[in-house]
Amino acid sequence: MSSADDFRAGLRAFLTDHHPGRRPKDPVARLAWQKAWLATLFDAGYAGPGWPREYGGMDLDFARQVIYQEEYAGARVPGPLGTGLGIAAPTLIAYGTPEQKERFLRPMLRGDSVWAQGYSEPEAGSDLSALRTTARREGDEYVVNGQKVWNSSADIADVLFTLVRTGPPDSRQDGISYLLIDAHAPGVGVRPLRDLTGDAHFCEIFLDDVRVPVADRVGPENGGWPLVRTSLGHERAAGAMNQAALYRRVLDELVELAHERGATADPLVRDRLADFEIRVTIMRLTGMRTIADIMAKGEPGPASSTARLFIVTFEQELHEFALELLGPYGILGRHDPHAVQRGRWVWGFLRTRASTIGAGTAEIQRNTIAEQVLGLPRDPVTPTTGRAR
């Protein structure tokens, strides 16, 4: 057995032997359950496959990172809490001070500290450089005022990694700074937002005279825009292999649904399933390329937009097809006693309506691909980066 095979076997055994069991329904119990799992991973040396060892990670080579993502997704164990691990952590590792790295990275990886992103605003989503949240410096502190929206995990967060305007109102990207804000500080308010699924996956954040130490600014004042691009690139690349492994399983379950509905005799149905099979394979290969780029260059680069765009359009089309297979049952929600598989496909369809908006709209991804990957002329009017999370 090769060393890579040994690693796969050891990881699989660990994930099996330490599986945390069924996810609790109660939100408080579920949060504690997930934190306990992340601590178990960290303490056993199985957290942060691509993180440097000095910050508690595994610092795996390319082949083992691929194995890790495949095995982790296949084990059906909890994923990371918040949005910090895949977005804020790479930014801190690249731009943070030694004190910031020592203070923040290990607790984030272990799940002791949950991070949430504060980028988008009611008037600044895709055009992120138009953000209005201000940070006025008073001595060794900033006084922050503004509002953020479409924030995942802000309701359970301990730290908000946030973009604020420290320059003049018309300074666009030249006046933006990157602040780490204590989510429990006076003046921070969080309100859940209910979405199409009936759940509250997002929040809006209100910042009212929130005082933030200057020491919690990452990078230079008014120099946050390069950090934004690092964050967004890693967000679009984060979990690419994990997503591929996830949708490998989901596609298998969709094939089972087609069999159950008696639809596989239809050659058009088989053709669609074959197309999804091809795209899952492409997704896996793209994820491998992304990992290789990060390991070689330290950044996923603009090509991460291709992976992001590919995944979000795929998951939308897959769930649309699932509802076609369900026919009239495709209008029944999770709580209807007649819903097929407890309405999971309907829930997935509703959830993925937002897929082409979050982490930068599909339109923004296409612009990035056109300008930075294909080298086409830049549109002087269209923002070059953006987000909606």
How far, rounded to the nearest angstrom, does the alpha carbon of residue 107 sit from its chain's CA centroid?
A: 19
Pair type for strands 176-182 and 217-218:
antiparallel
DSSP letter string over 73-93? HHHT----SSSIIIIIHHHHH
Paired tokens of 193: 């937002």
Phi, psi of 340 (to 5 degrees): -75, 130
Of 141, 235, 253, 363, the catalytic one is 235
Percent helix, strand, coil in the chain, to 5, is 55, 15, 30
Paired tokens of 138: 């008073």
Residue with tokens 């429990």: 184
Phi, psi of 165 (to 5 degrees): -95, 115
In the residue annotation, 363 being an active-site residue is answered as no
Structure-derived torsion over alpha carbons of residues 378, 305, 178, 109, reported in degrees to the nearest 10: -170
Dihedral of alpha carbons 212, 84, 89, 126, sign? negative
Q: Are 108 and 117 in contact (CB under 8 A)?
A: no
**CA angle, 40 then 42 then 45, to 5°:** 110
Looking at the annotation, which residues are catalytic? Answer: 235
